Amino acid sequence: MRVCRNITPSGVIKEAVKYSKGVIMKRMVLCLFFATVFFLSVYTASAQQYITLGIPTSLKLIEGYEGHKAAQLAVEEINAKGGVKVGNEKRLLKIEALDIRDGEPGVPTSEALLGIEKLILDKKIYATVVGNFRSEALLAAMDIFSKYKVINIGTIAMTPKFQEKVLSDPEKYKYSFRNCLDSRYLAGYMQNMMKHVSSQFGYNKVFIATQDVLWASATGSMMEKWFKDNGWTVAGFDKYPVGATDFSAGLMKAKSAGVQVILPIFDMPTSGILVKQWKSMKIPALMAGFISPLMGTKAWKTFGEDIDGLMNVVFEIGYFPVKAHPPSVKFSEAYMKRWKEDIQSGHGAAPAYDTVYVLVNAIEKAGALDPDKVVKAIQETDMVGVVGRIKFDKGHQLIFGDDPKKAAVGAVFQWQKGAMAVVWPDSIASAKIVKPSWMK
Amino acid sequence: MLVYGLINSAVLALMALGFNLTFGISGVANFAYGAIYVVSGFLTWTLINHLHLPYAISAIITISAIGIFGGLVYKFIIRRIRGLVISEVIATFGISIVILEFLRYVGFIGFKYSLPVFIKGSVEIFDAYVDIQRLLIIAFGIFLITGLYLFTHHTKIGLAFRGIAQEEHTSLSLGINPDRIAGWSMGMGSALGALAAIVILPLGTITVDSGYDVLISALSVCIVGGLGSTFGVIIASFIIGYAQTITATYVSAHWTMIVSLVAILIILAIKPSGLLGHQKELEERV
């Protein structure tokens, strides 16, 4: 009970004002308390509605950077349509990306694995997409995905040992999938490219130049064996250290040996110099292989006509519009509209976009978020994506072929006057191979 | 092989001159040199592509800005620890990591960053086509070495450079402020790194990771030639440059990466001060 000590009229008014102020304050505090409780409960409820997808990868490397954006685009599209149907309710998706830097030199695999566990435990992710950059990290991470029953659909690391590991214990490693090319398929595409070159020009003498890293030299060795088994002459096989800036010695060797084709296999930034030197030294041979920095539209802006005539193997179609496969056109336009730039990497981005849809379709088909049920639905996936038809083999590897109606597809394009003209496979080709001007 | 060996040597000499100048004058091993080289490339690229400045103006702005940056790094960081060799290395290497990671953070990733060549086209020399930019690298190398010689022998600051390089305490008694001159040398060394970047980078693309490669190339040339010796750097560039080209031609390009490391090992075993180096030469004799 309040006691008014000051009983003068002005004193009573002051006391009354003080009293009413106190009441107002109390009410305000109460209101704030209830509002906080209300917003927290609404926030928690809405947070529970999200299905969180983790992207643990090398976000500062081009494949990881663009893969993240492509997955984000798919998530936004799905959320705009109301989200994922899980049983009778719709759930929204959200992405938690973490730069685990596993593709950067000097970063130990253990650090990358810690990053993945952090995402799983702290962010409570349901599945990971894009995933590990380096194969060593992927192989080690498969055990973590199994331990926590987290579905992983990777789109960058390419070792065939992935399938071997899945097949070694299908029950344990059933949570891991790969929705991109592996190095066996890459070698297959290069062989098809060489068959195509041989059939068009009758060439059979080649010089191999690769980056001195495991995947590139292994692919080069596979190609060397294939060339020898198929009646080609391999005039030389040079491996260049990472960061090499002068390829003149190899090019001179190729020229003096009279080779008709140079097969480059590189993903280091300085490999663009090889093509510039090929042109400036007027080496009379087709340059056909894989040079990562020359994959996107910006390569022409960067190097201009110096790269005219180069033939490049695309790991997965879809990152640039292929008219014969309309989903790729739709995707590249949507990506451009959302991010105001083209995709520059020929590997990873288009499959990352597809991966989100693969996962969503599987969840909807399973009608639940139970990882075991969803895994089964992913195994049975049969859908048309940006990269072609998506189906997985028993080793959880995306199946590739040469027709987007039947399988996922890689391709070979040639830089022709600033355009990326697809020259193989025939199902999507829009041009014939053109020899560089100094070869005529 | 003769022509491309010469070009390779000129590239190495250009890369190493700035590092060597700073060390020769101030005694500071600037481990941020590779980062300075890379940031120069990105700065020039930005000025050309975002501010649409002419190439020459962009190059001048870059060289000046990087020179000033080098001087400021000395004034605010290195001056306090000068003479403490380990601290200098840690500080400059730390600066290098900060610069390179900052570049990565702000989005300089991918393959689109390249500077235009000065003159397009190629010419035939001894039955081999060589692009004109590579020939310009040789010309710039000669120009830079001549310019450095004239600068250090015929200008007041250049003579002060040589003064503190020869005997810092005596030069102090002649009114030369070693700290100021060391700051100048750090600035000039950085500017030379920027110039090398602008001349060499049009051959390929600019990437953050190449900062470490440039540092290793500069270090190996300077160690073989003798830290602080300009003529040592020139000779070492020729030795390593031609050794790399011969290895790539007659053995395999795969082995070129160890040529400079083998050269360092040999020189450390035979003459640790380097071919023409004077650092610790007296101690070696004793």
Q: pLDDT tens digit string along A12-42?
A: 667 666 666 677 777 777 777 777 766 655 5
The answer on pLDDT for A1 being more than 50 is no
The answer on pLDDT for B275 being more than 90 is no
On whether any CB of chain A is under 8 Å from the CB of B119, the answer is no
Nearest-CB residue to A240 (from B113, B210, B253): B253
Whether residue B256 and residue A244 make contact (CB cut-off 8 A), yes or no, is yes
The stretch A67-81 carries a mean pLDDT of: 97
* Nearest C-alpha in A relative to B217: A243
Tell me which chain B residues have a C-beta less than 8 angstroms from the C-beta of A250.
248, 253
CA-CA distance, B127 to A317, in Å (whole number)? 41
Q: Does A164 lie in the same domain as A92? A: yes
Q: Does A430 lie in the same domain as A386? A: no
CA-CA distance, A18 to A30, in Å (whole number)? 18
Ranked by mean pLDDT, the top range of A124-138, B225-239, B268-282 is A124-138
The pLDDT confidence band at residue B277, using thresholds 50, 70 and 90, is confident
The pLDDT confidence band at residue B199, using thresholds 50, 70 and 90, is very high
The answer on pLDDT for B162 being more than 80 is yes
Q: Does A333 lie in the same domain as A309? A: no
The answer on pLDDT for A45 being more than 50 is no
* Nearest C-alpha in B relative to A236: B252
The pLDDT confidence band at residue B174, using thresholds 50, 70 and 90, is confident
Per DSSP, A111 falls in state: H
The answer on pLDDT for A136 being more than 60 is yes
In contact, B215 and B83? CB cutoff 8 Å? no
> For chain A, what is the domain count?
2
User: In chain A, pLDDT over 90 holds for what percent of residues?
Assistant: 65
Nearest-CB residue to A244 (from B109, B128, B253): B253
Whether residue A253 and residue B249 make contact (CB cut-off 8 A), yes or no, is yes
Q: Which of B266, B225, B243 is nearest to B21 (CA)?
A: B225
The answer on pLDDT for B286 being more than 70 is no
How confident is the model at residue A146, as a pLDDT? 97
CA angle A71, A76, A78 (to 5 degrees): 95
The pLDDT confidence band at residue A85, using thresholds 50, 70 and 90, is very high
Whether residue B203 and residue A298 make contact (CB cut-off 8 A), yes or no, is no
How many alpha carbons fall within 13 Å on the CB side of residue B236? 37
> Which position has the higher pLDDT, B278 or A429?
A429
The answer on pLDDT for A2 being more than 60 is no
> Which position has the higher pLDDT, B208 or B43?
B43
Place of tokens 């109606």: A405
User: Where do the domains of chain B lie?
Assistant: 2-209
On whether any CB of chain A is under 8 Å from the CB of B136, the answer is no
Nearest-CB residue to B111 (from A60, A243, A299): A299
Q: Does A276 lie in the same domain as A377? A: no
Q: Which of A10-19, A219-228, B78-87, B135-144 shows the lowest per-residue confidence on average (mean pLDDT)? A: A10-19
The stretch A270-290 carries a mean pLDDT of: 89
| A47, A203, B229 from A328: Cα distances, Å | 33, 32, 59
SS3 assignment for B166-234: HCHHHHHHCCCCHHHHHHHHHHHHHHHHHHHHHHHHHHCCCCCCHHHHHHHHHHHHHHHHCCCCHHHHH
CA-CA distance, B111 to A224, in Å (whole number)? 28
Touching B: A residues 81-120, CB under 8 Å: 105
Give A267 to chain B, closest Cα distance, Å: 10
Whether residue B111 and residue A273 make contact (CB cut-off 8 A), yes or no, is no
The stretch A153-182 carries a mean pLDDT of: 95
pLDDT digits (tens, 9 = 90+) for A387-412: 999 999 999 999 999 999 999 999 99
Q: Does A288 lie in the same domain as A144? A: no
Probe site for chain B from A214, A246, A262, A266 (most B CB atoms < 10 A) = A246
CATH (domain of A268): 3.40.50.2300
A17 found inside a domain: no
Ranked by mean pLDDT, the top range of A40-49, A213-222, B33-42 is B33-42
On whether any CB of chain A is under 8 Å from the CB of B205, the answer is yes
How confident is the model at residue A142, as a pLDDT? 97
Give B97 to chain A, closest Cα distance, Å: 13
Whether residue B4 and residue A248 make contact (CB cut-off 8 A), yes or no, is yes
Tell me which chain A residues have a C-beta less than 8 angstroms from the C-beta of B251.
none
CA-CA distance, B53 to A40, in Å (whole number)? 53
In contact, B35 and B211? CB cutoff 8 Å? yes
The pLDDT confidence band at residue B127, using thresholds 50, 70 and 90, is confident
The pLDDT confidence band at residue B2, using thresholds 50, 70 and 90, is confident
Long-range contacts of residues B233-239, Cβ cutoff 8 Å, at least 24 apart: B233/B13, B233/B16, B233/B17, B233/B20, B234/B13, B234/B145, B235/B275, B235/B276, B236/B12, B236/B16, B236/B263, B236/B274, B236/B275, B237/B9, B237/B10, B237/B12, B237/B13, B237/B16, B238/B9, B239/B263
A247 found inside a domain: yes
Using DSSP's 3-state secondary structure scheme, residue A371 falls into: helix
How many alpha carbons fall within 13 Å on the CB side of residue A162? 33
Summary mean pLDDT of chain B? 88
Tell me which chain A residues have a C-beta less than 8 angstroms from the C-beta of B110.
62, 65, 298, 344
How confident is the model at residue B193, as a pLDDT? 95
Domain holding A251, by residue range, is: 184-314+410-439
Q: Does A160 lie in the same domain as A121? A: yes
A19 found inside a domain: no
Q: Does A343 lie in the same domain as A234? A: no
* Nearest C-alpha in A relative to B245: A249
The answer on pLDDT for A3 being more than 50 is no
How confident is the model at residue A67, as a pLDDT? 96
The stretch A304-311 carries a mean pLDDT of: 89
The stretch A283-288 carries a mean pLDDT of: 94
In contact, B26 and B82? CB cutoff 8 Å? yes
The pLDDT confidence band at residue B281, using thresholds 50, 70 and 90, is low
Q: Does A366 lie in the same domain as A283? A: no
The stretch A263-278 carries a mean pLDDT of: 87
CA-CA distance, A190 to A313, in Å (whole number)? 7
Tell me which chain A residues have a C-beta less than 8 angstroms from the C-beta of B202.
none
CA-CA distance, A131 to A56, in Å (whole number)? 5
pLDDT digits (tens, 9 = 90+) for A160-169: 899 999 999 9
Q: Which of A172, A181, A251, A250 is nearest to A215 (CA)?
A: A181
On whether any CB of chain B is under 8 Å from the CB of A264, the answer is no
H or E, element range at B104: helix B85-105
Q: Are strands B128-131 and A408-409 parallel, antiparallel or unpaired?
A: unpaired
Give B123 to chain A, closest Cα distance, Å: 8
Interface ipTM > 0.90: no
The pLDDT confidence band at residue A7, using thresholds 50, 70 and 90, is low
pLDDT digits (tens, 9 = 90+) for A326-383: 999 999 999 999 999 999 888 999 999 999 999 999 999 999 999 999 999 999 999 9
The pLDDT confidence band at residue B128, using thresholds 50, 70 and 90, is confident
Whether residue A273 and residue B253 make contact (CB cut-off 8 A), yes or no, is no
A342 found inside a domain: yes
Nearest-CB residue to B129 (from A243, A247, A280): A280
H or E, element range at B22: helix B2-26
Tell me which chain B residues have a C-beta less than 8 angstroms from the C-beta of A248.
4, 128, 245
User: Which residue(s) pair with A79 in the sheet?
Assistant: none
pLDDT digits (tens, 9 = 90+) for B150-160: 988 888 888 88
φ, ψ dihedrals at B218, nearest 5°: -60, -45
- Distance from chain centroid for Cα B114: 19
